[in-house]
Amino acid sequence: MSPLSHRSEHKGLGSYDRWFGDPGLARYYFDRPLSNGGIVTRLQRVVISVSDLDRAVSFYRDLLGLPGTVGDGKAILSGARNVELLLHERETVPSDLSVALSFGVGELETVCSAWLAAGGIVVDAPADQPWGERMAVVRDPDGHLVCLTADHA
């Protein structure tokens, strides 16, 4: 079962139906196992290099609400469907040309306002996207791009 199956069971695939243009096609991609006999069976962990662990934990755990443990130069936070977010303290170089994380949040405007109030940077303010999501783009404390999304009400 994919990480997006939860959405199809409880809320419908919503924006993904619009994105794929066909609810059946969206369900085909998101409701099947990740692997069909291949090597990869699941997404286990996302690792983010951070220059200041306390600052990063303030963003990912305290602002976004991801629970977890902190210590020994790292933080292991729990994401959806047992995917870990590992914050690893070491030298980092942010880039807009690399991978960006995307988190679904319940109150998009509230999260963005809280991040601004804490001195954070909002690159793109919350706006409706053509694929059916309301999305904002922020920078984490190390300058990495992070997308925040909320479904249309």
Which pLDDT tens digit goes with each residue over 2-40? 333 333 333 344 444 554 555 555 555 555 555 566 777
Residue 9 has a pLDDT of 35
Task: Determine the Cα–Cα distance for residues 30 and 147; give it in Å rounded to an integer.
Answer: 20
Which pLDDT tens digit goes with each residue over 89-128? 999 888 887 778 899 888 999 999 999 999 899 999 999 9
Residue whose entry in the numeric block shows the structure tokens 């909320």: 150
pTM of the predicted model as reported, rounded to 2 decimal places:
0.70
Which pLDDT tens digit goes with each residue over 45-100? 999 999 999 999 999 999 999 999 998 889 999 987 788 999 999 998 888 877 78
Residue 44 has a pLDDT of 87
Cite the beta strand spans of 1-153 per DSSP E. Answer: 45-50, 68-71, 74-78, 84-89, 101-104, 121-128, 133-139, 145-151
* Higher pLDDT among residues 150 and 11, named by residue: 150
| Sheet of 68-71, strands arranged across | 45-50, 84-89, 74-78, 68-71
Q: Report the top-level CATH class of 43-151.
A: alpha beta
pLDDT band at 42 (very low <50, low <70, confident <90, very high): confident
Q: Domain map of the chain by residue range?
A: 1-42, 43-151
pLDDT band at 43 (very low <50, low <70, confident <90, very high): confident
- Reading the block at residue 91, the tokens are 């030298």
Residue 12 has a pLDDT of 42
Question: Which DSSP helix (H) or strand (E) runs through 112?
Answer: helix 108-117
